[in-house]
């Protein structure tokens, strides 16, 4: 058992290192291949034209134009391994500091959305699956299919229009009120500003988990063990509590941890629409502005998040499912 666990941990670590290595390389290659000229993007055509040759050369050095890509990557990687993520070219601050601020903003958004969509999705799926073919099932299914075929940014715009522009009950963007000192921002302000983006993310996150749980629930209701439970007089909520919940929850948990990637991906779009200064928005500006150190760091952190989500799913499954837990012990 001890040995098995050791091997498992070792394998996971190897996989994680490989993942970081390949994503960083891929990001780097893609950035180098991108047609965006860092000077034109950040300094501007007009300003560049009016500069002296020396000034332009200095700027080229700052943005790393013309340097050997391999040398660049290796030196970045060497720093990264030592724990130095470099300095963001756009923010002119250490990348670690930029990410700390942005991640805190995003995390609040994503965790809320993740939990909300998980709980809501699971229960919608359960209700739908247990009432297969009835109107409530059709309603849930219709909602899920509609939502999963709706682009996230479009939904974000829609919510923004309804709640921000027409009803004027929620702010149209940003994470804090405009014209207020940083010290004067209350926790309530932050929550108030996060409602719309979090809501958008939750709504889109629901459909996947709900549809999956519905399928699972239908399978459970048709299973022999539910048939027998019914033959033993169990029904309704008791039946669900004894046999449905646990059997449906297991795959739902796994799926939902694996869905961390989707929430992450969705947050990039949603933050963009709501001008919410989170990790997603930083990623977009870093990409468009050729801020290589920042983009690399964000990509790696996202990859680690997704990896972590999948890994937790793996581990949890082993803990909750006796067949895997005890099977491993035997």
Beta carbon nearer to another protein, 111 or 238: 238
Considering only the stretches 63-71, 72-80, 83-91, 315-323, report the one whose residues sit in contact with another protein under the rule CB under 8 A: 315-323
CB of 35 to another protein, least distance (A): 54
Element counts in the chain: helices (H) and strands (E): 16, 0
Q: How many residues bind another protein (CB under 8 A)?
A: 21
Which residue, 322, 219, 310, 224, is CA-closest to 264?
A: 310
230 touching another protein, by CB under 8 A: yes
d(CA 19, CA 189): 38
Query: Residue from 235, 308, 315, 328 that binds another protein (CB under 8 A)?
Result: 235
Q: Is 203 helix (H, G, I), strand (E, B) or coil?
A: helix
d(CA 166, CA 173): 14
CB of 131 to another protein, least distance (A): 13
CB of 245 to another protein, least distance (A): 10
Query: Residue from 48, 77, 250, 284 that binds another protein (CB under 8 A)?
Result: 250
Phi-psi domain of 78 (left: phi exceeds 0; alpha: psi -120 through 50; beta: other) = alpha
Beta carbon nearer to another protein, 71 or 232: 232
Q: Which residue has the tokens 């983006």?
A: 197
Considering only the stretches 76-84, 159-167, 179-187, 233-241, report the one whose residues sit in contact with another protein under the rule CB under 8 A: 233-241
321 touching another protein, by CB under 8 A: yes
d(CA 111, CA 93): 26
d(CA 198, CA 156): 10
Which residues of this protein are in contact with another protein, per CB under 8 A?
224-225, 227-235, 238, 242-243, 246-247, 250, 321-323, 326
């Amino acid at each position: 058992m001890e040995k098995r666990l050791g091997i498992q941990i070792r394998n996971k670590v190897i996989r994680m290192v490989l993942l970081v290595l390949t994503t960083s390389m891929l990001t780097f290659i893609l950035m180098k291949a991108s047609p965006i000229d860092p000077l034109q993007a950040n300094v501007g055509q007009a300003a560049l034209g009016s500069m002296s040759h020396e000034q332009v050369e200095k700027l080229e050095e700052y943005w790393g134009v013309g340097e050997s890509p391999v040398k660049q990557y290796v030196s970045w990687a060497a720093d990264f391994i030592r724990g130095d993520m470099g300095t963001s070219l756009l923010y002119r601050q250490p990348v670690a500091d930029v990410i700390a601020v942005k991640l805190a903003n995003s995390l609040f958004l994503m965790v809320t959305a993740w939990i909300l969509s998980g709980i809501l999705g699971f229960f919608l799926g359960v209700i739908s699956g247990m009432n297969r073919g009835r109107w409530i099932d059709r309603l849930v299914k219709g909602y899920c299919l509609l939502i999963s075929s709706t682009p996230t940014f479009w939904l974000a715009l829609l919510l923004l229009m309804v709640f921000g522009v027409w009803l004027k009950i929620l702010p149209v963007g940003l994470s804090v009120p405009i014209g207020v000192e940083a010290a004067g921002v209350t926790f309530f302000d932050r929550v108030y500003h996060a409602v719309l983006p979090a809501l958008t993310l939750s709504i889109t996150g629901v459909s996947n988990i709900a549809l999956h749980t519905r399928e699972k629930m239908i399978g459970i209701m048709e299973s022999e063990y539910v048939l027998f439970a019914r033959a033993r007089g169990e029904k309704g909520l008791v039946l669900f509590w004894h046999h449905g919940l646990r059997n449906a929850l297991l795959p739902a948990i796994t799926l939902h941890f694996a869905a961390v990637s989707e929430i992450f991906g969705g947050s990039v779009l949603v933050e963009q629409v709501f001008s919410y200064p989170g990790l997603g928005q930083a990623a977009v500006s870093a990409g468009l502005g050729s801020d290589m150190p920042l983009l690399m760091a964000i990509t790696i952190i996202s990859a680690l998040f997704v990896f972590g989500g999948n890994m937790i799913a793996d581990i949890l499954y082993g803990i909750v499912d006796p067949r895997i837990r005890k099977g491993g012990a035997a």
